């Protein structure tokens, strides 16, 4: 599974979202995370339908969206989304 965090340079809430993502990745080492600044990846952000920052997307290994959260997610919210999409869940 992959977790994509879409941010922007002047987004104060993005800092808190980074912390939640880092904590979730620390608890689920198999979770891959990446951060994309919408100013540097506008085509990708548009293709993904990103309308606000921060936005988190959880995808499977093929890039299929499993979960989306706009705004600052909580660590429990991220862990619940991951758990719901683990094999055998």
Q: What are the chain's domains?
A: 2-84 (3.40.30.10)
pTM reported for the whole predicted model: 0.90
For residue range 14-63, list pLDDT tens digits in order: 999 999 999 999 999 889 999 999 999 999 999 999 999 999 999 998 98
How is residue 74 annotated by DSSP?
P
pLDDT band at 64 (very low <50, low <70, confident <90, very high): very high
Burial of 49 (0-12, 13-18, 19+ CB in 10 A): exposed
């Amino acid at each position: 599974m992959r977790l994509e965090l879409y941010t922007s340079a002047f987004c104060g809430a993005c800092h808190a979202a980074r912390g939640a993502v880092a904590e979730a990745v620390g608890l689920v080492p198999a979770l891959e995370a990446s951060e994309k600044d919408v100013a540097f990846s506008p085509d990708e952000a548009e293709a993904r339908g990103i309308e606000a920052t921060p936005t988190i997307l959880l995808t499977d290994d093929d890039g299929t969206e499993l979960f989306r959260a706009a705004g600052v997610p909580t660590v429990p919210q991220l862990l619940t989304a991951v758990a719901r999409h683990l094999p055998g869940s």
